[in-house]
């Protein structure tokens, strides 16, 4: 292991034990936000430090075994050489794990997410598939034990969605779902197709890390907040009270509209959560010198030629075009079984970041 890597491991170990001491500090224990942040950082370093401690112990054992392998007694030499080989194999394996653990983590990985799904090319069929993808992510969240909450929606008369925005709350939600951002293409016979012809439609998905109020300050003077009567089916309150809220962030021109709740206050709270997430996304894109908004680059235009994944119902397959993975179990995937896809995408990202390190 080279000196640079050892230096980074020693620095991480030092920070880990420093955090352990801080967690016993009364000043930290009396500050819930600080204690939470330190606790999360401790958890993030724990796997690396545990493995590094084991690695150092193995190196010491290896040195001892190599010395014994020089013994005059042939039985001792054979046993010691066998031990040295076994120890070296375990140490090499740990060295690879440590290299992966040293890759800088995405600071958003442990955050909740706001998912925005919109019908793209394909009209009613695109809206219906938007509803199918919404169900897919809700089912996936249920499998993970995560909580979902609709923040805003624009349903169609035939059970689809022009747009649906929802929150998924759960530790590590962003680390798993960030790979879903992009254009999803569906090929199937629409329920509205009398001739049985296969149609191709698209849906755009944007996955945004939730921005907490403490990490993103919004100047109230930069907001224009309009209230109005909500539109669409949903009850008497829809047309008789001004419960719908539209918030415009004047410096960026971002607009968020929310009408799902009967309470104007609740609609405003939900709209602000979406706005904070979008502004956070824009800020991070600017920090990475993105040419355009990260959110816009995620979802593209919704044109049929753009896609990250294809769902082909006649062939029963799902293909992720970024990694060339095809699964022939579309029904399971549509029921929220995304683990194989997500694990493959995460492994691909890990390999790319390891090559860049």
Distance CA 225, CA 241 (A): 16
Count how many domains the chain has: 2
Are 89 and 131 in a shared domain?
A: no
Are 147 and 90 in a shared domain?
A: no
Are 40 and 124 in a shared domain?
A: no
Q: Which of 72, 101, 130 is the last residue of a domain?
A: 101
User: Given a cut of 50, is residue 28 above it in pLDDT?
Assistant: yes
Are 133 and 152 in a shared domain?
A: yes
pLDDT band at residue 235 under the 50/70/90 scheme: very low
Are 90 and 154 in a shared domain?
A: no
Q: Which of 83, 101, 119 is the last residue of a domain?
A: 101
Are 341 and 299 in a shared domain?
A: yes
Distance CA 191, CA 194 (A): 8
**pLDDT value at residue 234:** 45
- Whose structure tokens read 């090929």? 187
- The candidate with the shortest Cα–Cα distance to 16, out of 31, 28, 40, 5, is 40
**Residue-range definition of the domain harbouring residue 77:** 3-101
**pLDDT value at residue 288:** 59
User: Given a cut of 90, is residue 40 above it in pLDDT?
Assistant: no
Residue 222: how many CB atoms within 10 A of its CB?
11
pLDDT band at residue 323 under the 50/70/90 scheme: very high
User: Given a cut of 80, is residue 207 above it in pLDDT?
Assistant: yes
User: Given a cut of 90, is residue 356 above it in pLDDT?
Assistant: no
Listing DSSP states for 69-132 in one string gives: TT-SSHHHHHHHHHHHHHHHHHHHHHHHHHHHHTSPPPTTTTS-EEEEEEE-TTTHHHHHHHHH
- Express each pLDDT in 103-159 by its tens digit: 877 788 888 999 999 999 888 899 999 999 999 999 999 999 999 999 989 999 889
Distance CA 208, CA 181 (A): 9
Are 70 and 209 in a shared domain?
A: no
Are 114 and 74 in a shared domain?
A: no
Are 82 and 125 in a shared domain?
A: no
Q: Which of 101, 127, 148 is the last residue of a domain?
A: 101
Are 116 and 242 in a shared domain?
A: yes
- Express each pLDDT in 70-106 by its tens digit: 998 999 999 999 999 999 999 999 998 898 888 877 7
**pLDDT value at residue 300:** 57
User: Given a cut of 60, is residue 292 above it in pLDDT?
Assistant: no
**pLDDT value at residue 342:** 95
CB burial string 62-90: b at 16+ within 10 A, e below = beebeebbeeeeeeeeeebeebbeebbee
pLDDT band at residue 231 under the 50/70/90 scheme: low
Are 137 and 243 in a shared domain?
A: yes
Distance CA 309, CA 202 (A): 10
**pLDDT value at residue 192:** 67
What are the start-end ranges of the H helices in the chain? Answer: 3-22, 26-29, 32-68, 74-101, 124-144, 173-177, 237-240, 264-287, 294-299, 330-334, 339-356
Q: Helix, strand or coil for residue 39? A: helix
User: Given a cut of 60, is residue 220 above it in pLDDT?
Assistant: yes
**pLDDT value at residue 352:** 81
* CATH code for position 242: 3.30.70.1660
Q: What percent of the chain has pLDDT over 70?
A: 89
* CATH code for position 7: 1.20.58
| Arithmetic mean of pLDDT over the chain | 86
Task: Please indicate whether residue 127 or residue 355 has the higher confidence score (pLDDT).
Answer: 127
Total-model pTM: 0.71
Tell me phi and psi for residue 260, to 5 degrees: -65, -35
Are 313 and 349 in a shared domain?
A: yes
């Amino acid at each position: 292991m080279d000196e640079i890597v050892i230096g980074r491991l020693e620095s991480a170990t030092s920070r880990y034990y420093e955090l352990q001491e801080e967690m016993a500090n009364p000043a930290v224990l009396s500050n819930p936000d600080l204690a939470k942040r330190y606790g999360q950082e401790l958890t993030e370093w724990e796997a690396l430090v545990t493995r590094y401690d084991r690695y150092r112990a193995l190196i010491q054992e290896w040195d001892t075994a190599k010395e014994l392998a020089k013994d005059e007694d042939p039985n001792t030499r054979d046993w010691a050489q066998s031990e040295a080989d076994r120890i070296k194999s375990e140490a090499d394996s740990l060295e690879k794990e440590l290299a992966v653990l040293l890759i800088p983590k995405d600071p958003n990985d442990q955050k909740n997410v706001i998912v925005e799904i919109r019908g793209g090319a394909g009209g009613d069929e695109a809206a219906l598939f938007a509803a199918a993808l919404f169900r897919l992510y809700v089912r996936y969240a249920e499998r993970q034990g995560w909580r979902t909450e609709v923040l805003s929606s624009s349903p169609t008369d035939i059970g689809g969605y022009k747009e649906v925005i929802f929150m998924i709350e759960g530790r590590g939600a962003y680390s798993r779902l960030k790979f879903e951002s992009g254009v999803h293409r569906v090929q199937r016979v629409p329920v509205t197709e009398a001739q049985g012809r296969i149609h191709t439609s698209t849906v755009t998905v944007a996955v945004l890390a939730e921005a907490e109020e403490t990490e993103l300050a919004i100047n109230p003077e930069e907001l224009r907040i309009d209230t109005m009567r909500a539109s669409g089916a949903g009850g008497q309150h829809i047309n008789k009270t001004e419960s719908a809220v539209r918030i415009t962030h004047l410096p960026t021109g971002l607009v968020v509209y929310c009408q799902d709740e009967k309470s104007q206050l609740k609609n405003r709270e939900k709209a602000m959560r979406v706005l904070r997430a979008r502004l956070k996304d824009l800020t991070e894109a600017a920090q990475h010198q993105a040419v355009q908004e990260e959110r816009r680059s995620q979802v593209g235009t919704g044109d049929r030629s753009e896609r990250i994944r294809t769902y082909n119902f006649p062939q029963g397959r799902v293909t992720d075009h970024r990694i060339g993975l095809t699964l022939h179990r579309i029904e399971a995937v549509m029921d929220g079984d995304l683990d194989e896809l997500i694990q493959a995408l995460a492994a691909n990202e890990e390999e790319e970041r390891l090559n860049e390190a």
